[in-house]
Amino acid sequence: KIILDGEIYTEKKLILNSCNNIEWLKDNISSTIELAVENNNYYNTPAYDIVTEPEFISTIVDKNNINFLFDVAHAKITSINKNIDYLNYFNSLPLSKIIQIHFCNFTIDEKGYAYDTHDEPDDNTYEYLKKIIDKYKNVKYITLEYYKDL
């Protein structure tokens, strides 16, 4: 039996922590290194309630003057698991600040719940990736999160 334990932080505390952590990081690395925050995938626990909200992610990006790492699977998983429209979710993210994209496929179980399993991308995933790259010109890096032989 696994018992999870931990403190649930308020949005204000999460933002303050991010600002402190990113300030520390900026003070301790070269200013030529670009920083980004990644969107996470939503699972039905309090740990994901705030951090998967587009407004929260945008606040972190804006307050810290950093970039955005867009994870395609995380966004799709979040929209499925929160039962929200994907395009509305996607369009609410800080898209003008995308510097990197992670992509792969994911799994939906028999109950309709999505999980990040880093499955092999299909043709639709590659086509969607190309559309994002074509539209958002700040993208510098692409990461395929699939660790088996294609």
* 81-90 residue pLDDT tens: 999 999 999 9
* pLDDT band (50, 70, 90) for residue 126: very high
Where does residue 67 fall: left (phi above 0), alpha (psi -120 to 50 degrees), or beta otherwise? beta
Q: Could you tell me if 92 and 57 are in contact, meaning their C-beta atoms sit under 8 angstroms apart?
A: no
pLDDT of amino acid 47: 87
Q: Write down the pTM of the prediction.
A: 0.93
Q: For residue 4, what pLDDT is reported? A: 57
Alpha carbons 90 and 112: distance in angstroms, whole number: 20
